[in-house]
Every structure is written in structure tokens, then in C-alpha cells.
Amino acid sequence: MLGAIREQRRQARTAGLRAVALTLTFEDNGAFCSGHISDFLERVRKALKRRGHALPYTWVLEREGRLHYHLMLWLPRDFILDKQKLARWWAWGSTWTACCKQVKRWGRYMAKFNSVARIPKATRLFGYGGLDDSGRAAVQRAGLPQWLLALLPRGSTVRRFTGGGWTDAGTGERFVSPYLWTPWGWVTRHPCAR
């Protein structure tokens, strides 16, 4: 998630966007539906699209008391998220918003994940979007294991391979981890093993 925020910040500098910190809280945890965050973001996205802008965003779900989402939105400087818009777009509880002057601090706060155990099952804990192609590639590379990064040529895109390992999207070459989990811990595979 922090990699996505870093790439969004890079993208926002060139587009002249500002960061907005936002918290969306459910009034009643029983009203929770994982689709509510998608609905909210879609409403903001449509409002920005009418003005010719995309919506870079990052969100995380947390439960400390009531379920709530922490978000970072990158908005045009002249776009205001006023209380009336927020009340229409988030009808399930309360909202809090502030100009995010310390992007790294808010990003670290969002990434703390200290109350994951009590979140409803099969619920996504975080999400991000609105990155350009180079941003998506950078976030994907940041999430890859070090052993794989050492083998990949710069600019390669990989996908998980069914049955284990990774496949280079351009060449079709398959990469398998050199490590194997055993009851005694991680061991290095024999170089001839596949």
C-alpha cells in the first residue's frame, strides 16, 4: 500500500493534485457491506470524470470500535469535498476529512493494520487505484520477492503461475522459488530441482 501511495504522489505532482485524508465510519456495524466503499469511490470518480480528471486513491478498512475506512484521495486543487456531497455519497454513517499535508505520516497511519482480527470474513482490507501504467508496474515490482527481482530484466511484467511460481508475461519463461518450506523451516532447493 505504501508503494501505491508513493506512486500516486509522483503522479499527483505532475498533474497538480492535492492529497485529502478521509475517514468513513459506519454508524452501525450491522450495516456493513464491502460494496459501500466501491459505491463511494464510484461517485467521486464520476464527479471528477465530468471535470476531466482521474481519481488516484488508497483505502484501508479498520475496526477500532466501529468499522471504518481510512482513505487518501488525490484531488484537483479546485475540487471541494463539502459536507453535503459527503452526506449524499456516504449514507451509512459519519465522515471526517482534512487536507493531507503529511502524506507519509497518513500513509503509515493507514498501513498500521492493528485490528485485522475482528473484520468480517472475505472482506478486502485495502485497495488502491487510479495509477498510470508506470505506477502500476512500479507497485507490482515492489511487491515481488527479492529472488525474483534479481532474475527479471528491467521492465518485465510477471504473473502468478497456477501450481506455483511466476511467469514472465512477455517471454512465457517460468520462475520457481529457490526456497522450499519444510517442517524445520525454509531450505534452498537443489539447483536441478524444478
Q: What confidence tens digit (pLDDT) does each residue in 136-168 have?
A: 778 787 778 888 888 888 778 888 888 788 888
Contact yes or no for 14/81 (Cβ under 8 A)? no
Average pLDDT, the chain: 83
Q: Does domain 2-135 have CATH number 3.30.70.1910?
A: yes
Q: Where is 158: in which H helix or E strand?
A: strand 158-160
| Three-state DSSP class for residue 67 | strand
What pTM was computed for the model?
Answer: 0.74
Q: Where are the domains of the chain?
A: 2-135, 145-188
CB 24 within 8 A of CB 95: yes
3-state DSSP helix/strand/coil % of the chain, to nearest 5: 35, 30, 35
pLDDT digits (tens, 9 = 90+) for 70-89: 999 999 989 988 899 999 99
Summarize pLDDT for 175-190 with one digit per residue, the tens: 888 887 788 777 777 5
The answer to whether 55 and 130 are in contact (CB under 8 A) is yes
Q: In the structure grid, which three cell numbers stand for residue 126, read together?
A: 485495502
Report which of 105, 4, 121, 107 is spatially closest to residue 63, judged by C-alpha positions: 121
